[in-house]
């Protein structure tokens, strides 16, 4: 907790109603809406927000945990702790979790306001004291900054300090940061993706820019501008990139073929069910090897299980080398 934040002794009264339809709404306490929420401009909640229905607004600021049983459709969404959604999440601009009270106050320009006549500081006008206590003692239920949804997630920019777990598609233009793991039925990133933990998709992973991750696993195909992983890169289908494919501490494994216009590097094995093509070269760990055609008969290797690079790489364990094949 920030030294400038003062914890009040009296908790604000919770707010509860069946539906909420207003131009704007603000509460420092916990809020429970037993139906849909429609806010024309800003929705600001200093505690936890529970919506038993859909949430539609322009901007949403929730310092605690945000739980919505239906869909979320907003322009911008800022959550202090966890986000749980029973439907789809659509955010036109920025979706950010793990926001502390000082950052939220600056976004709302409350830090520029003068103290109240009773000496109340600006932070007391924004946040429930229980939220400050949770942050101070790291007592965050539901995972700090985590996002969970039974539907899809679509937004322009994502900055998530926890993990993201979806039952449907992950469709984001730019992933500035995911502090945990990313799991979805399909993953689509139109720009770059920066994920600290594992990226896992039940089907395909498509990244137009570069993907940086702790590990990458796809049960379909992987197609990216470039892939940089600390751990393994694995897919059941084909693995394709226009830039570098690198695993700093693991192996690269594809059920079908691996191909890039640049280089391939793995600290351990490079394994493909069919062919491996790296237009600018490939290399693996000294005590490991490169294997192609692991799912094919040896009589098919020359046509379907070749290893191609400008110079024949070391440690070829299976497959036939053919120079200068192109992606």
Task: Report the pLDDT value the prediction gives residue 105, as an integer from 0 to 100.
Answer: 81
276 contacts 322 by C-beta, under 8 angstroms: no
Phi, psi of 28 (to 5 degrees): -85, -10
Domain spans, the chain: 1-151
Rounded CA separation 49/124 (Å): 18
Q: Each residue's pLDDT tens digit in the chain (327 positions)?
A: 444 444 444 678 889 999 999 999 999 889 999 999 999 999 999 899 999 999 999 999 999 999 999 999 999 999 999 999 999 999 999 999 998 888 888 888 775 655 555 555 556 667 767 766 666 655 555 568 999 999 999 999 999 999 999 999 999 999 999 999 999 999 999 999 999 999 999 999 999 999 999 999 999 999 999 999 999 999 999 999 999 999 999 999 999 999 999 999 999 999 999 999 999 999 999 999 999 999 999 888 888 899 999 999 999 999 999 987 787
β-bridge partners, 96: 78, 159
Long-range contacts of 310-317 (CB under 8 A, 24+ apart): 310/279, 310/280, 310/281, 311/281, 313/281, 313/282, 313/283, 313/284, 314/283, 314/284, 315/284, 315/286, 315/288, 315/289, 315/290, 316/289, 316/290, 317/289, 317/290, 317/291
Task: Report the pLDDT value the prediction gives residue 324, as an integer from 0 to 100.
Answer: 79
Rounded CA separation 2/265 (Å): 44
**DSSP H stretches of helix in the chain:** 101-107, 129-137, 301-304
Task: Report the pLDDT value the prediction gives residue 252, as an integer from 0 to 100.
Answer: 98
Task: Report the pLDDT value the prediction gives residue 116, as an integer from 0 to 100.
Answer: 53
Rounded CA separation 68/54 (Å): 7
Task: Report the pLDDT value the prediction gives residue 107, as an integer from 0 to 100.
Answer: 84
The reported pTM is 0.90
Cβ-in-10-Å burial (0-12, 13-18, 19+) of 297 comes to: exposed
């Amino acid at each position: 907790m920030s030294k400038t934040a003062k914890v009040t002794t009296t908790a604000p009264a919770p707010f509860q109603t069946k539906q909420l339809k207003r131009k704007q709404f603000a509460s420092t306490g916990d809020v429970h809406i037993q139906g849909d929420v429609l806010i024309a401009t800003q929705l600001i909640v200093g505690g936890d927000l529970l919506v038993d229905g859909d949430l539609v607004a322009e901007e949403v600021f929730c310092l605690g945990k945000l739980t919505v049983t239906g869909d979320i459709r907003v322009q911008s969404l800022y959550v202090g702790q966890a986000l749980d959604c029973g439907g789809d999440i659509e955010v036109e601009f920025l979706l950010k979790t793990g926001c502390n009270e000082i950052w939220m106050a600056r976004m709302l320009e409350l830090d520029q306001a003068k103290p109240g006549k009773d000496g109340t500081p600006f932070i007391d006008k924004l946040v429930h004291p229980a939220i400050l206590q949770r942050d101070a003692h790291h007592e965050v239920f539901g995972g700090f900054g985590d996002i969970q949804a039974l539907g899809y997630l679509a937004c322009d920019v994502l900055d998530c300090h926890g993990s993201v777990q979806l039952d449907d598609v992950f469709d984001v233009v730019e992933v500035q940061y995911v502090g945990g793991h990313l799991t979805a039925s399909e993953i689509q990133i139109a720009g770059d993706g920066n994920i600290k933990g594992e990226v896992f998709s039940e089907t395909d992973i498509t990244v137009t820019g570069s993907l940086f991750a702790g590990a990458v696993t796809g049960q379909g195909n992987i197609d990216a501008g470039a892939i940089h992983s600390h751990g393994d890169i694995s897919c059941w289908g084909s693995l394709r990139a226009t830039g570098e494919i690198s695993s700093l501490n693991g192996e690269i494994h594809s059920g079908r073929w691996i191909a890039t216009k640049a280089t391939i590097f793995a600290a351990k094995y490079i394994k493909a069910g069919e062919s491996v093509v790296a237009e600018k070269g490939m290399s693996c760990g000294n005590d490991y090897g490169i294997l192609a055609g692991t799912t094919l008969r040896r009589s098919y290797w020359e046509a379907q299980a070749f290893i191609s690079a400008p110079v024949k790489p070391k440690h070829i364990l299976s497959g036939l080398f053919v120079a200068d094949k192109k992606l």
